[in-house]
Amino acid sequence: MLKNHRGELYIFLGALTFSVNGIVSTVVLEELSAFRLAQVRAISAFILLLIFALIFKRDLLRLSKADIPLAIALGVVGFALVNVGYFLGIERGLPLGLVLVIEFTAPIWVALWIKYVRKGNVGEDMWIAIGLSLVGLILLTKIWDGFKFDVLGLVAALGSAFALAGYFIMGDKFGKNRHPIGSTIIGLGVASIFWLLVLPIWNFPTEIFSKNLDLHGYLAGNQYPGWVLLLWVVVMGTIVPYLFVISGLRILSASKSSVLGMIEPVLAGALAWIWLSQSWDFIQLMGALVVLIGIYIADRSKSAAA
C-alpha cells in the first residue's frame, strides 16, 4: 500500500519538513533579515551536498550542455526567486495569510501551462481539487483580517506563485532521469551564485552565529546559539525537504504535486498551534478540512498532466 503512494509520501514529508522549518525560521528572522537567511540556506546547503558528492558520488554533478539552460532557470526561479517574492511580500507589510494564498495559486498556473502551452490533459477533478484547496486556504489563513493593499507586495507575492509553479514544472522535467541529490545540488549551486551576486557575502552579519536564541512557545526558555538553528534550517529546512519534493516529482505529475504541496500551510498552522499556542477558530478548522478534501481529490485524480 505504502509503496503505491511513495510520491504522495515524499511530497507530504517535504511539506512537513518545510513547515517545521518555518517555525524555526521565525526565531532566526528576529536577528537576521529574510534575504540573508535565504542566502545562507542556499550557500550552506550547496556546500554540504557538494562535499558529499565529491567524496562519495561524483557522477551526481554531471550536467550535459543541453541541460545547462534548464538548470540555470530551475536554480534561479525554483530555488531563489520563490523565497524572494515570499519574503518581499511579507516585508512590504502584507499579511502572511494573504502571501500564502497568493503563493499557493501556483497549481492554477501549473494546470493552465499544461493545458494551454503543453496541450496536455488536466482532468475536471483536478480543477475541482485546485478550487477547493484555494477556498480552504483562504478560510484557513483568514486573509480578510488586517488586509493591506500594497502594489509591490502583491506583485512580489504573485511572482512567488509563478516561481513556485516554475519550480514544479521545471523540476518535473529536470529531475525525471536524475538522482534527487544531483538535482538539488545543481539547483542550490545556481541559487548560491545568484545570492552571491545580489548580496555581497563580506557584509554578512556574522554575530548571528554566536548569539543565543530562544525557541519561544512550548519550548520557551530553551536557548541555542544561532549557528545551531541555522544548521537546522540548512539541513532539515532546506536539504531534506528539497530532496523529498524532487523525489516526489520523479513519480507524480507537476500538477498533482503542486496541489498536494498545499498541505504545507495546513501543517504550518497545526505546528504553530502546538508549538506557539496559536489556536485555530472554527472557520480555520473548516478551511483546513476543505484543503484536505481538495488534496484527497487531487491524489485520486486521473489527470494525465505531466
Confidence (pLDDT) at 74: 92
Does any domain span residue 305?
no
Q: Which domain holds residue 126?
A: 3-300
- Alpha-carbon 129 to chain mean position: 20
Residue 149 has pLDDT above 80, yes or no: no
Mean pLDDT within 136-152: 76
Buried b (16+ CB within 10 A) or exposed e, 69-101: eebebbbbbbbbbbbbbbbbbbebebbbbbbbb
Reference 149, options 100, 108, 227, 94; nearest CA is 94
pLDDT of 275 > 80? The answer is no
Helix pair angle (180-198, 240-249), 10° resolution: 120
Cβ neighbours, 10 Å, residue 246: 26
pLDDT surpasses 70 at 276: no
Question: How far is CA 170 from each of CA 71, 175, 260, rounded to the nearest angstrom?
Answer: 9, 8, 17
Report the range out of 93-97, 233-237, 257-261, 299-303 with the highest average pLDDT: 233-237
pLDDT averaged over every residue in the chain: 83
Query: Is the pLDDT at 261 greater than 90, yes or no?
Result: no
For residue 303, name the pLDDT band (cuts at 50, 70, 90): very low
Per-residue pLDDT of 64-119, as tens digits, reads 888 899 999 999 998 888 877 877 777 776 666 667 777 878 888 888 888 888 88
CA atoms within 13 A on the CB side of 68: 3
Residue 306 is assigned to a structural domain of this protein: no
Least confident of 42-56, 75-89, 202-216, 275-289: 275-289
What integer pLDDT is reported at residue 157 of this predicted model?
83
- Note the pTM of the prediction, 2 decimals: 0.79
- Interval 10-41: pLDDT, tens: 988 988 888 888 778 878 888 888 788 889 98
Helix 263-276 vs helix 124-141: crossing angle, to nearest 10: 30
Task: With H, G, I as helix, E, B as strand and everything else as coil, classify residue 223.
Answer: strand
Does 156 reside within a domain? Answer: yes
Domain contains 102: yes
- Asked if pLDDT for residue 46 goes beyond 60, the answer is yes
> What is the per-residue pLDDT for 305?
45
d(CA 200, CA 167): 25
According to DSSP, residue 117 is labeled I
* Torsion over CA: 229, 231, 232, 234 (sign): positive
Q: What is the pLDDT of residue 1?
A: 53
Residue 151: per-residue pLDDT: 79
CA dihedral over 114, 117, 119, 124, signed as positive or negative: positive
pLDDT beyond 50 at 304 = no
pLDDT on residue 146: 64
Residue 181 phi/psi, 5° resolution? -65, -40
Residue 183 corresponds to which cell in the numbers above? Answer: 538535482
The confidence score (pLDDT) of residue 306 equals 43
Q: What is the count of structural domains for the chain?
A: 1
Distances (CA, A) of 176 to 25, 75, 254, 263: 31, 16, 11, 23
Percent of the chain with pLDDT over 70: 92
How many Å apart are CA 204 and CA 227, to the nearest integer? 14
pLDDT of 96 reads: 62
Which residue type sits at 25? S
What's the pLDDT at 228?
94
DSSP string, 231-267: HHHHIIIIIHHHHHHHHHHTTS-HHHHHHHTTHHHHH
More confident site: 51 or 92: 51
Task: Give residue for cell 550547496.
Answer: 46
